[in-house]
Structure 1
């Protein structure tokens, strides 16, 4: 019989006991998949940066990188650290959160992402035995609605949506993007350079199809806007000077015009 504790009623794999417990004080929280690629933190940081700059992030949200998601399965405490995750609302806003247990501490993650490296992707397996792979953990234990696997080298996205308890691979739209319902944003790839890294990036677009800018792009947009305003002001000044010169050539004092 499946039982759950410290949580509202949820569906669990048949015969599997899942409880939602906080991180034990003596638990050695290690990254189960250490970052072996300097580009991975840049990819994760860029995803958050554009959300932050546009004011999308709210205090009750949890957005984290290589951050432990916790559950207790058959009495065994498990923590998996996705490369990027988004939780719509937590019960308590903490300045220095070290881990997160869904149900106990707030919503389940709405989306988790993994950025593939050159290593063999064993952690993405569906094996149900302890310790379970990430795929099984996200799909069967946490039941995360959206699971994204991104291959930075070739810019390939595998976008999985949870349907009837199983992840189903979804195809992108005509622009090569996926609509993330829980975020009200599109997710897709973009190729270019940022922070010394050149290649494919994951990026957000709003419903109107506008890309959410990074800080350097926002600064450039403001510079171009200021330059355009300055050019308009200069054009207006020159036009007034020409009109003034013309009136004077006709014997009209421009200062005495009504």
Structure 2
């Protein structure tokens, strides 16, 4: 499949089986936890269609001027794929295998990763690749130590524009039907800043542990109400039914 952006010839081809992918570990111990937290709440809330794909440090490919380019964002959401999941085991090629990612995220660390690089020459920078080659609608850059979040939306001129948060300091992601924001607290023995999702009603999408705690609290409240009602009935000379 062939398309073009400015003077670049872009083709969407499957990554060759003999292509050597980078096998370096993530450069920040918090990255896997941040990514897992984002995915877990979506799954629990039923916000992941059966043919959607979430990737974490996983190659997303395009061929630019006959040279393969692979970038592995820290987190990405692809709304639909057209192939079996075993066909995207090593990498994912948009257009050929499914939709363009609607979100890519990069979590900043002490290692210089070039998240702001607009370098157009091979190999192109991340910003350039997401903006000009893939045309990803939402590019998220998060600095977890300081809790600083930058959300960029692709405009009609195919340029990223920095977005301002709403009154709740969140960002509406149209393609997800959800808001994204920063939350401070504890998960997996890590106290710090996390990225969280809120629905259209402003309700926080819960993690599994939070759902369990919420259910337990609701049961305790219901039990306390039942005990109070039973005590009131007995005081009135009525033996409550068990």
Q: Tell me the TM-score normalized by structure 1.
A: 0.88
Equivalent residue number for residue 123 of structure 2: 131
Q: Report the Cα offset of residue 34 of structure 1.
A: 4.2
Map 1:6-85 → 2, pairs under 5 A: 6=1, 10=3, 12-30=4-22, 34-85=25-76
Counterpart contact for 1:125–1:134, Cα < 8 Å: yes
Which one is further off, 88-97 or 180-189? 88-97
Counterpart contact for 1:59–1:93, Cα < 8 Å: no
After superposition, give the CA deviation of every residue in 1:193-239 in whole Å (9 maximum; x if it has no partner).
10011111000000111110111110110000100111111112111
After superposition, give the CA deviation of every residue in 1:93-133 in whole Å (9 maximum; x if it has no partner).
31562211000001100010000001224353000011011
Query: 5+ unaligned residues in a row in structure 1: which ranges?
Result: 1-5, 246-253
CA distance in 1, matches of 2:52, 2:179: 18
Q: Tell me the TM-score normalized by structure 2.
A: 0.94
Q: Which runs of 4+ in 1 moved over 6 A?
A: none
Please report the RMSD computed on the Cα atoms of aligned residues, expressed in angstroms: 1.5
Map 1:229-244 → 2, pairs under 5 A: 229-244=222-237
Counterpart contact for 2:106–2:115, Cα < 8 Å: no
Which one is further off, 179-188 or 57-66? 57-66
Matched residue of 2:61: which SS?
strand
Equivalent residue number for residue 94 of structure 2: 102
CA distance in 1, matches of 2:219, 2:175: 35
Query: Quick check: which has more Rg, 1 or 2?
Result: 1
Equivalent residue number for residue 114 of structure 2: 122
